[in-house]
A and B are shown apart, each in its own frame.
Chain A
């Protein structure tokens, strides 16, 4: 599954300047230190933390995309930071569980 295909799950793409590579899986967490320690290169991060530090952590840990849950609004500086890092951003009204299930099913097929 490619990053761009995340949109097919009904998620909205917030930042589209990214290299459209294959997703290596996903990681769901709202604790950024946990993300830092455990997210694997190329995975999508599913979280409610819609702020700039999330972008920093995701990009340092090598995430391919970040999905903000609960329709959390992110500020413009979040988009700018993600664009600079080439990190794809998506938004969904789903909670973390629902978003994780959708992504996991899509990754399985």
Chain B
């Protein structure tokens, strides 16, 4: 059974990109029906019936301590335990999702686990929402239609200032395909040259882009890679489908590497990639969820007014 609308790794790149752009926070249901440990199974059943839902988190001081699904209710009913406290029937150790991660992490989680919903928590680990495959479907359709509208509008009104058009391209990266890694970076370099960007900035953009491309190829199950160049900046986003980084701080420290012999034989895996990118980029962001994926974003400003000290 798979309720997720699409498998990430073989869906259209634009759809992947769209899903990476949305955060769990943007699509989750904010109206939550939660119960405390001392409520009875009958209370939960009433809440489910009245609100048409099939799963209710159990909270203790806003923290998720368990979840009750329709299945648990049925079992309690069969066993004649409907007046028991939920703490006796709930599933403890609930897998939650952070509200800040990309929707794709949630999609990976839905295809990995058999759960039909995930409680969503904020940075303080407090319950702030619920996400189901339905939330994702609706959000994707909504976002797709918004972007199509935008596309139609931009076709009618071309850029009036005669500036270089925005360059926006998404590339697919495959595990261990070192052969094609570097494609996006070569194109990025060409585009920046054509725009008359200074060699120093081109170099910084190229370093960020190439290291991130290699990272996806060398360390992930594959993913997508997006380059966006507009008037002010270059934005490079690398997204993959996992396995995720257990300790991001460790991965960010120079010399740390999980590369195997094959990767090393290719001249990579020195543990310099991510630190290199962070050093040359004006803005750097990394998010990772084990079994869900990793997203790295690097931005280089084309007008070096506000940021100094990053030149190499």
Contact = CB atoms under 8 A, between A and B. Distances in A.
Where chain A touches its partner, the secondary structure class is: helix
B266 A60 contact: no
Contacts of B279: 37
B-side binding surface: helix, strand, loop or mixed? helix
Contacts of B276: 33, 36-37
A70 interface: no
Interface residues of A, number: 20
A41 interface: yes
Contacts, number: 69
A33 B182 contact: no
Interface string B198-227: 010001001100110010000000000000
Most chain-A CB neighbours within 10 Å: which of B189, B214, B270? B270
A36 B267 contact: no
B273 interface: yes
B64 to A, nearest CB: 41
A30 B267 contact: yes
Interface string A19-56: 00000000000111110110001000001010111101
Nearest to A30: B267
Interface in B258-298: 266-268, 270, 272-273, 276, 279
A1 interface: no
B300 to A, nearest CB: 14
A33 B268 contact: yes
Contact of B266 (A36, A41, A51): A51
23 contacts: A31-B267, A31-B268, A31-B272, A32-B266, A32-B267, A33-B273, A34-B272, A37-B279, A47-B267, A49-B267, A51-B178, A51-B266, A52-B178, A53-B181, A53-B214, A54-B267, A56-B186, A56-B210, A57-B182, A60-B189, A60-B203, A60-B210, A61-B203
Interface of A: 30-34, 36-37, 41, 47, 49, 51-54, 56-57, 59-62
Given A36-B207, A61-B203, A61-B207, 8 more contacts: A31-B268, A32-B267, A32-B270, A36-B210, A53-B214, A57-B182, A60-B189, A60-B207
